[in-house]
Amino acid sequence: MTQALDPTERAVLNGLQGGFPLTERPFRDAGAQLGLTEGELIDCIRRLLARGCLSRFGPLWNAEGLGGAVCLCAMAVPPERFAEVAARVNAHPEVAHNYERNHALNMWFVISSDCPDRIPDVIAAIEAETGLRVLPMPKQREFFVGFRVEV
């Protein structure tokens, strides 16, 4: 993010965390809650995406609840290759929540698929594309942690 957020952008980012209306016109209804028109909300989200303030805007599906699978993964990526490897990893539609960490395992991401057998295939593809090992950490127990960032 290279520019400061304006008050509308800040309100949108804070107001849409943790929920979005499941209605016939969700952008209209979410916009109304924020004092915006449907078009103003859509335009604001597009600007935030274009500026890199948001990496994506969309639903988070419960893959396991739909018969799929989810796996947390980590990689040790040489710092000089981090951007290149992140781009390759993020190019997989199954990858979400890719974060840099200050640790030997400095890239952490989640693979989510509608087919449990797809997880090893995605891991193998990432390893082949990057030449780096992916450490899968399958879930043993689930915890729900609400996470909200006020901007």
Look up the CATH number of the domain holding residue 97.
3.30.70.3460
Is there a single domain that holds both residue 46 and residue 109? no
Is there a single domain that holds both residue 98 and residue 134? yes
Residue 57, domain member (yes or no) = no
* Portion of the chain with pLDDT greater than 70, in percent: 89
Is there a single domain that holds both residue 34 and residue 69? no
Is there a single domain that holds both residue 39 and residue 71? no
Is there a single domain that holds both residue 79 and residue 111? yes
Is there a single domain that holds both residue 73 and residue 103? yes
The CA R_g of the chain, rounded to the nearest whole Å, is 18
Residue 144, domain member (yes or no) = no
Q: What is the pLDDT of residue 148?
A: 64
Residue 59, domain member (yes or no) = no
Q: Is 81 a residue whose pLDDT tops 50?
A: yes
Asked whether the beta carbons of 12 and 32 are under 8 A apart, the reply is no
Q: Mean pLDDT, to the nearest integer, of 12-21? A: 87
Residue 20, domain member (yes or no) = yes
Q: How many residues does the chain have?
A: 151
Closest CA to 10 of 56, 59, 54: 54
How many domains does one find in the chain?
A: 2
Q: Given pLDDT bands bounded at 50, 70 and 90, which one contains residue 73?
A: very high
The residue range of the domain holding 18 is: 7-50
The span from the CA of 21 to the CA of 28, in Å, is 9
Is there a single domain that holds both residue 91 and residue 28? no
Asked whether the beta carbons of 98 and 107 are under 8 A apart, the reply is yes
6: DSSP letter: P
The span from the CA of 35 to the CA of 51, in Å, is 23
Is there a single domain that holds both residue 126 and residue 86? yes
Is there a single domain that holds both residue 81 and residue 15? no
Is there a single domain that holds both residue 73 and residue 22? no
- Alpha carbons within 13 angstroms on the beta-carbon side of residue 86 total 15
Q: What is the pLDDT of residues 100-130, one digit of tens each?
A: 999 999 999 999 888 888 999 999 999 999 9
Identify the residue with better confidence: 114 or 10.
10
Query: Mean pLDDT, the chain, as a whole number?
Result: 88
Residue 70, domain member (yes or no) = yes
Furthest C-alpha separation in the chain = 49
Residue 150, domain member (yes or no) = no
pTM to 2 decimal places: 0.66
The span from the CA of 115 to the CA of 138, in Å, is 15
**Phi, psi (degrees; rounded to nearest 5) at 4:** -70, 155
